[in-house]
Structure 1
Amino acid sequence: MKFKRTDLSRLYHAALQHFLKEGPGASIAPAHELGRQAIALGLETLDLARMHEVALVSLVLPGYSSSTSDGLMGRAGLFFAEAITPLEETHRGAREANIQLNHMVQTLSLRTQELAATVEELRQEVEQRRAMEESLRISQQTSSDLLKKSRELQEELRQLSRQLLTAQEEERKKISRELHDVIAQTLTGINVRLAALKTDSTVSNKTLQGKISSTQELVEKSVDIVHRFARELRPSVLDDLGLIPALQSFMTSYMQDTGIRVSLQAFAGIEQADGAIRTVLYRIAQEALTNVARHAQASQADLSIQNPHGGISMKITDNGCGFTVKGKSSAKKNNRLGLLGMRERVEMIGGTFCVESAPGKGTTILVELSSEATAPNPSQ
């Protein structure tokens, strides 16, 4: 079988690979033998140089850093120098070929460095692209969370609006019913009695006094009802005397009407708080105790107003049946403004509102205002 140039190229590739792999201890003799075989095939130094370049590109470039490639290039140069020794002995152009080979080796080294730099640039670009993709993903998630939160707030606002309208309508119905069923009938009775007194000239003085007294009782009853309406709409004692007397007055009527015992503890400095704050605390206490009477099946409730760290903390607890707290929107729709309405009142003055309850464990409502929230407003 005739030895061909392709066979020599394959042998050269394998011999150079073995020489580079074995390191400084490898024998250089195979390179010399390859040079002799090149002569037998009639090859020139440039032919062997091209063969060396092909082998070098496939063996040195892949997977090596520029510093490692430089070391391998040097050892490959020794191998090639030995391989062309037989050619140098037989061909006059060996020196020129060696110069050209050195130039090719240098060019190959530059190309290797340029390739390494290009690979590094590509790696950095890939990392930047990954960072941008991650940033975009986080931005999309944040936008999605904000949109979800916005929808939840819109739903809470719609629910609160419905509750406000329902509460207003219920209060109007109550006042209308009381006016029609009680005050109107009472006034009608007064009118009838006055008309009877006007036409009855034969009535005795004693009988007249009795009828006048009963008519006065009807007038007093009507006045009491009107006063009760006024207290429920806006207790005058809250403006005239302060929060603590207003709460005591409300709790006295509350205990008489419901039979539920209520205790009150409050620091005197609460009366120095802003009027809007005292109004909110009164309304929260009023609504919370009303809910206790309607739903808690409790026998005892406790209300305390403290002054932690210069702020204000109001706690209302009961020993009732409790309920499962499901979040901000857990207010019962038929509880006037419900829990959501109380929360809105508190947050309107810069405070925090918390409900703790569980079936069979009673309920605690906590309102907290920081010292910053209770500080006087210079603009007022």
Structure 2
Amino acid sequence: MAAENNSKLLDNAIQATLEAIEDGKHQVYEIAESARKEGQALRDELTALQKLVHETISEVDRLEARYRLARKKLADVSRDFDKYTEDAIKQAYDDAHYLQTQVMVTREREQQLRTRRDDLDRRLRNLEQTIARAESLITQLDVAFSYLSGDLQHLGTALKNAEQRQYLGIRVILAQEEERKRVAREIHDGPAQMMANVVLRAEICEKMLDRDVAKVRTELRDLKEMVRASLAEVRQIIFGLRPMALDDLGIVPTLRRYLADFQEKNKIISELKVFGREKRFNSGLEVAIFRSVQEALNNVTKHAKARVATVKLELAEDHILVHIDDDGVGFAVEDAMVSREDGHFGLLGIQERIQLLDGKVEIKSAPKMGTRIMISLPIRE
């Protein structure tokens, strides 16, 4: 009975915590959305202000040129006083004084606009930092919520290996959330922006339809190209999530296509070498190989500064060997695996993924010596 009461108390406490986390997440999300809206308004205002600053600078240059001419004329009048009428002399003094005043006023306005622009730029940077912190906090709250809302029926058994299970669970959830954020960011920065631009330009076409058909035809051609580019980006995002070729054709054709795209996108010479007879393997094994190669090449792109990357597959009857080599800057393996900084979490992810399939991972690298990742996976039906 006491154990049952304790379990209910624990469930109630966790439920209350989940509700608090969910409420906090909504509040943080509202803060982030509000900051995004304010940030967009500031960007629009900053764009308009930068244009105004540029126009004011041009106005100052124009007035200063006129003021220099007026001063020269005033100097001529002063030097040959007897040659000019009283009205001409007065006009020369009035023109010089007026332009001097205009220059001073316009310079002051330019300084005020510059100050306002710098203030807007600082506010915008602060807002972007707030948005980034809010997004990070939302991710952390999502991790906590997902972890706490898991199956608690076998809590006693789970607590036996609490530390290891917690680390593994949080790593999996964090990886999922980071992947969601990456996909959301790619969609927002790519197809979503393009679609917004398509809508805007379509509205322009609609307004111009009765006035300039040739211009509308040109705009429509541009729109068609934008839609094609957006479709290509969407397909690339889908391929990054789960290459359909992996299910249809298998690991070798999928890696060939991925390396070709990788070379074209990153301008790093990439090659796939296959030894042994090509055949299909179980889905889990093929996904583990593909994701490991993908993660390793992501690290090459972000950190290695390499010119060449090579992937070798050795397909034996009872095991698969994968070698991923690059000629980049390299790193101290022991220090990297202990520090677990950004970029080396990818290596940890490869190790965890391969170890789940009873495989082994060996990483060889040194500063200025490039990197080799060696993966060995047993084949089981």
Partner of 1:185: 193
Given the superposition, is the C-alpha separation of residues 320 and 154 from structure 1 closer, same or farther in structure 2, using an over 3 Å criterion? farther
Partner of 2:227: 219
Matching of residues 317-356 of structure 1 within 5 Å: 317-326=325-334, 329-330=337-338, 332-335=340-343, 337-356=345-364
Contact residue 209 and residue 216 of structure 2 kept, 8 A: no
Contact residue 330 and residue 340 of structure 1 kept, 8 A: no
Instruction: Note if 1:375 corresponds to 2:380.
Output: yes
**Partners of 2:164 and 2:370 in 1: how far apart?**
26
Q: How many Å apart are 1:232 and its aligned residue? A: 1.0
Q: Summarize deviations over 1:238-290 as a string: whole Å, max 9, x none.
A: 22222122112211222223222222111463432212111111111111111
Q: Which segment is superposed worse, 294-303 or 169-178?
A: 169-178
Which structure has the larger Rg?
1
**Partners of 2:337 and 2:298 in 1: how far apart?**
19
**Counterpart pick for 1:305 among 313, 322, 336:** 313
Given the superposition, is the C-alpha separation of residues 204 and 333 from structure 1 closer, same or farther in structure 2, using an over 3 Å criterion? same
Contact residue 332 and residue 339 of structure 1 kept, 8 A: no
Contact residue 336 and residue 344 of structure 2 kept, 8 A: no
Q: How many Å apart are 1:309 and its aligned residue? A: 6.0
Given the superposition, is the C-alpha separation of residues 257 and 157 from structure 1 closer, same or farther in structure 2, using an over 3 Å criterion? farther
**Partners of 1:245 and 1:194 in 2: how far apart?**
40
Contact residue 164 and residue 336 of structure 1 kept, 8 A: no
Q: How many Å apart are 1:322 and its aligned residue? A: 2.2
Q: What residue ranges of structure 2 are gaps of 5+ in the alignment?
A: 1-158
SS of corresponding position for 1:182: helix
**Counterpart pick for 1:291 among 299, 305, 308:** 299
**Counterpart pick for 1:171 among 171, 175, 179:** 179
SS of corresponding position for 2:306: coil
Partner of 1:110: none
SS of corresponding position for 1:359: coil
Q: Summarize deviations over 1:175-209 as a string: whole Å, max 9, x none.
A: 33333333233222222232333344424443332
Give the number of equivalent residue pairs. 222
Matched to 2:380, the amino acid is A
Matching of residues 1-380 of structure 1 within 5 Å: 158-267=166-275, 269-308=277-316, 310-326=318-334, 329-330=337-338, 332-335=340-343, 337-370=345-378, 374-376=379-381
Contact residue 163 and residue 336 of structure 1 kept, 8 A: no
**Partners of 2:170 and 2:369 in 1: how far apart?**
30
Kindly report the root-mean-square deviation, in angstroms, between the aligned alpha carbons of the 2 structures.
Answer: 2.9
Contact residue 275 and residue 315 of structure 2 kept, 8 A: yes
Matched to 1:182, the amino acid is G
Given the superposition, is the C-alpha separation of residues 228 and 336 from structure 1 closer, same or farther in structure 2, using an over 3 Å criterion? farther
Contact residue 326 and residue 371 of structure 2 kept, 8 A: yes
Q: How many Å apart are 1:220 and its aligned residue? A: 1.4
Q: How many Å apart are 1:306 and its aligned residue? A: 0.8
Q: How many Å apart are 1:364 and its aligned residue? A: 1.6
Partner of 2:115: none
Identity fraction in percent: 29
